[in-house]
Structure 1
Amino acid sequence: MPVPDVSVRAALTGAARDHHALTDTEAVVLLAADGEDLEELAALADAVRRDRLGDALTFVVNRNLDGTLVGADPGHVRDLVREAAALGATEVCVQGAVPAAAGAEGYLRLVEVVASTAPGIHLHAFRVPEVLDAAGRRGSSVREFLLAARDAGLGSVPGTAAKVLDDDVRTVLNDGVADLPVARWLEVVTTAHEVGLTSTSTLVHGGPETPAQQVAHLRLLADTAARTQGFTEFIAMPSPAGPSPRAVRALHAVARLLLDGRIDHVQAAWPKHGLDLTEQLLRGGADDLGGLLLDGSLDPSAGQEQGTTLTRADAAALAERLGRPLRQRTTRYGDPVRR
């Protein structure tokens, strides 16, 4: 790829003038910002965040469950959801395929169990591969399954499994075997939005993709959001290769600029970055801390991120260091109903 004929300083000047007018070339250049340029980029992104959302640092109280581990045992799911609700969770997240032993309607039954156990809780469940699996098992279209799941109590779907929205990169990440095509991923997520479900949006970065492919991914998310208004937030997650803190900060800042007005919230995923880098991200365009990820005591291993829990005191201390008010939110960024 040719070196873009624009400097970081010129790109920063253009972004400060009108970040909505950033070209792809300028966005790629900004992803390489370092030193004083990076600090200026972060400050600009944080100003855009403040103008869009104000200063509140938000978080959600949630419990993650692994569908593969718990999906065939409705009684156990009921106990875990009851415990999560008692601990103050407003969201239960389920990722991972429901075991085949649960039958053709296993996914729907899981939704029904959660919804009937805690009617006020938001169920955030089933990535695109799981939606496709659920529809295939019951012999229905994706739209038919999502409508049935929505009616049974599903509130939103995770936007994970997006990886990088580039078919060539996805093939590389899948050990040379063609992965779920980008068009199919977008079709499923768009259908979820069309039937009234929201979703997160994600990017796994720092692997074989180029900066230009990162920008193209962000543009594709922004364009989809403009059509569906269905994305609640953007979450950047580091690949196993481990992007540098500099690259992580630059990506979050550029994401804030490119997604502004399309996807309001940029989450600093603290379990992926650690609290020190998370604090820097929250000073550089991110506004949301994500979930506390309650373990509970009944069966901590039922979640994929066992032992990765943030306390309210930890969140409050972080907000104090940032000089920003802390606000608990719901999955869709509303205010929780106090029980």
Structure 2
Amino acid sequence: MTPWLRAARDDPAGLPDDGYVALLGADGEELDELCALADDVRRRAVGDDLTVVVNRNLDPGLVATPEHLDALVDEAWELGATEVCLQGPLPEDAGPDAAVELVARVAGRRPLHVHAFRPAEVEAAAARRGTSVEDFLTAARAAGLGSVPGTAARILDDDVRAALTGGTDIPAARWVELVRTAHRVGLRSTATIVYGHVETASQQVAHLRALARLQDETGGFTEVIAMPLVAVPPGVAARGASVRETRALHAVVRLLFHGRIDHVQAAWPKLDHPTVLAVLRGGADDLGGLLLDGALDPDAGPEAGRSLTVDDVHAVAAELGRGVRQRTTLYGEVDPERVTVA
């Protein structure tokens, strides 16, 4: 075992940056040892149950009318969902308070957790409304917003963000401030990293450190989700994320956030099945959401056509030798009458 692995065994979250950078380069037997250590830390932190939330994604721009939205929410509820996730820009002709009204309509229709609005969408909704971000989020929370997706973080480095999006991304510091504001008004969020493009291991660690600092300040993150870049923008010379890098990064995420964020999610829509199993054996504990499509309008979600069944979840758990626990968005217990994955 290398010195950094020995140090991580004694203090998983206590390594300096160069220690985590070194572990991100692990391969062969050292990688296996790193993943085994991360899996042991996972077991001690959250136990052996594989967790999953029953949810449905909807893109506000693809929901034609309020009545159509009502029908989609009703269908999600009837299929056993406990969460509706709203991601995507509002229609251009939407009114100034459309985002708050959207949340209120979903939350008022069924007692579902509303997980909505990426940071850039939060900023756009506040501008449309003519209020501060804090005022918008406070109003949305009062209307029924339960949490926000901490997506579009990519890598919190402006040079990397510019390389990926040609300068159209919000600055890294603004992303942090928008999420900080959400946490300050009482909303929880996910924490994310998109990897396998033009960033270095040092930039990955700096990104994770930025998330850790925000968590130390607010305690608002529920889980960390590491996602490989799968849609490469034109003109970007992305290296692609190898299985080796994916395993090492998930393991380092588990170690670095130990004692800060309990849950590490395997982003199954962006990883093949063997890699999902590998990261769940190497630090990850959660399978994310089922992403129900339903039959009424399967294309109304941004990840249409990518969904898990209850049988899929149990098959993954069986391969891991673990039990299954259906969770709420915030990792609480689901009302026994609403449990569909058991």
TM-score by length of 2: 0.94
Deviation at 1:298, TM superposition (A): 0.2
Q: Which of structure 1's runs of 4+ aligned residues deviate more than 2 A? A: none
Distance 2:224 2:308 in 1: 20
Deviation at 1:10, TM superposition (A): 2.0
SS class of match (2:39):
helix
Distance 2:118 2:57 in 1: 13
Deviation at 1:178, TM superposition (A): 5.8
Aligned to 1:288: 286
Amino acid at match of 1:41: L
- Cα deviations across residues 158-209 of structure 1 (Å, max 9, x unaligned)? 000111111111111122x263111111111011011111000100001111
SS class of match (1:102):
coil
Structure 1 position 74 matched with structure 2 position 72: no
Structure 1 position 152 matched with structure 2 position 150: no
Aligned to 1:233: 223
Structure 1 position 51 matched with structure 2 position 44: yes
Pairing of 1:98-137 with structure 2 (within 5 A): 98-118=90-110, 120-137=111-128
Distance 2:301 2:291 in 1: 9
Pairing of 1:196-211 with structure 2 (within 5 A): 196-211=186-201
Aligned to 1:89: 81
SS class of match (1:100):
coil
Of the three residues 16, 21, 25, the one matched with 2:9 is 16
Deviation at 1:262, TM superposition (A): 1.0
Structure 1 position 217 matched with structure 2 position 207: yes
Structure 1 position 173 matched with structure 2 position 171: no
* Mean Cα deviation higher: 191-200 or 96-105: 96-105
Distance 2:172 2:307 in 1: 32
**CA spacing shift, 1:299–1:178, aligned 2, 3 Å:** closer
Distance 1:25 1:200 in 2: 26
Distance 2:60 2:254 in 1: 32
* Mean Cα deviation higher: 272-281 or 291-300: 272-281
Amino acid at match of 1:325: G
Deviation at 1:226, TM superposition (A): 1.0
Amino acid at match of 1:201: A
SS class of match (1:64):
strand
**CA spacing shift, 1:178–1:301, aligned 2, 3 Å:** closer
Deviation at 1:316, TM superposition (A): 0.6
Q: Which runs of no fewer than 5 residues in structure 1 stay unpaired?
A: 1-7
SS class of match (1:307):
coil
Deviation at 1:324, TM superposition (A): 0.9
Structure 1 position 250 matched with structure 2 position 240: no
Distance 2:243 2:216 in 1: 30
Deviation at 1:263, TM superposition (A): 1.1
SS class of match (2:30):
helix
Q: Which runs of no fewer than 5 residues in structure 2 stay unpaired?
A: 231-237
Distance 1:32 1:321 in 2: 27
Deviation at 1:261, TM superposition (A): 1.0
Amino acid at match of 1:321: E
Distance 1:218 1:326 in 2: 28
SS class of match (2:272):
helix
Structure 1 position 183 matched with structure 2 position 173: yes
Deviation at 1:20, TM superposition (A): 2.4
Distance 2:332 2:214 in 1: 22
How many residues in Structure 1 have an aligned counterpart in Structure 2?
A: 329
Amino acid at match of 1:83: E
* Mean Cα deviation higher: 100-109 or 204-213: 100-109
Aligned to 2:233: none
SS class of match (1:21):
coil
- Cα deviations across residues 30-53 of structure 1 (Å, max 9, x unaligned)? 001111111000000000011111
Maintained 8 Å contact 2:14/2:256:
no
* Mean Cα deviation higher: 234-243 or 216-225: 234-243
Distance 2:199 2:144 in 1: 37
* Mean Cα deviation higher: 101-110 or 155-164: 101-110
Amino acid at match of 1:95: Q
Amino acid at match of 1:247: E
Amino acid at match of 1:314: D
